[in-house]
Amino acid sequence: MNDKSAFGTKEWASRNENLIKGCSHDCKYCYAKAMTIQHKRNTREDWKNEIVNQGKLKKGFRKHDGLIMFPSSHDITPDHLSDCMTFLYHILKPGNNVLIVSKPHLICIKAICDYFKEYKDNIIFRFTIGSADSTVLKFWEPNAPDFEERLESLKYAFNAGYQTSVSCEPMLDNKIDRVIERVLPYVTETIWIGKPNKLNERLSMNGFKNDLATMGAARRLKGIFTDDYILDLCQRYKDNSKIRWKDSIKKVLGK
């Protein structure tokens, strides 16, 4: 799916499904955390405590014409892997096509790949990798897997014959070329690149407004992604058929 008029998750799928409230990865810039805090559906402290919506585990699905993204507001983590696989089975059983989006734990990806072989043609994996530097990932995404585990997860899915893709949104440093270089041999579909969105607003909502280290890092990160930097990046990869630009990049190109 690549609707040029769409933005956000609609660039990827026509429908989103989620099973869990909260996410133990507790990424600093998380849009879902910011939204749920803003609308007073959760607190900063409780967000990392994942709660499974048991009612959804009994939900039936019909065949949907478009691509279904799962999940979009949490992740697939080892603590609730079994529940996520049950929910995923309910989505896939009617013949739906599913985009599985994750900062992947290898144990989870191995289990999904091994169990859902029958539905291999209905699954696309899209793994979020915003930097090839695990120290950078640890700073912004404190409880998510490091770079090597994410790369191993990508390799596993690729070698198991699944469709694979990568999301470099948000880019977390000025060395996204290193990510592209490392993941490209194991990507069958696309690599999506995007800037951090509403970074200061989301960090403030998520409790980092007075955190000098985090807000200083955010200021430096935003300073990297000037229009000139983005235009140069686009020029370097203009002939790479697997590279896709998220809406934050398209806005620069459209100026």
Structure confidence at residue 2 (pLDDT): 45
Chain centroid, CA 1 distance in Å: 16
Instruction: Give the type of residue at 56.
Output: K
Paired tokens of 53 = 């919506």
For residues 247 and 29, give the distance between their C-alpha atoms in angstroms, rounded to a whole number.
Answer: 18
Number of neighbouring beta carbons within 10 Å of residue 8 = 13
Residue 155 contacts by C-beta under 8 Å, 6 or more apart in sequence? Answer: 186
What pLDDT was estimated at residue 3? 47
Amino acid 59: pLDDT:
86
pLDDT of residue 149: 98
Q: Where are the alpha helices (DSSP H) in 59-198?
A: 81-92, 106-115, 134-140, 147-159, 176-183
Q: Output the tens digit of pLDDT for each of the chain's 255 residues.
A: 444 545 567 789 999 999 999 999 999 999 999 999 999 999 999 999 999 999 999 889 999 999 999 999 999 999 999 999 999 999 999 999 999 999 999 999 999 999 999 999 999 999 999 999 999 999 999 999 999 999 999 999 999 999 999 999 999 999 999 999 999 999 999 999 999 999 999 999 999 999 999 999 999 999 999 999 999 999 999 999 999 999 999 999 997
Helix (H, G, I), strand (E, B) or coil at 94: coil
β pairing state of 51-52 and 20-21 = antiparallel
Domain 8-253 falls under CATH 3.20.20: yes
Give 210's DSSP letter: T
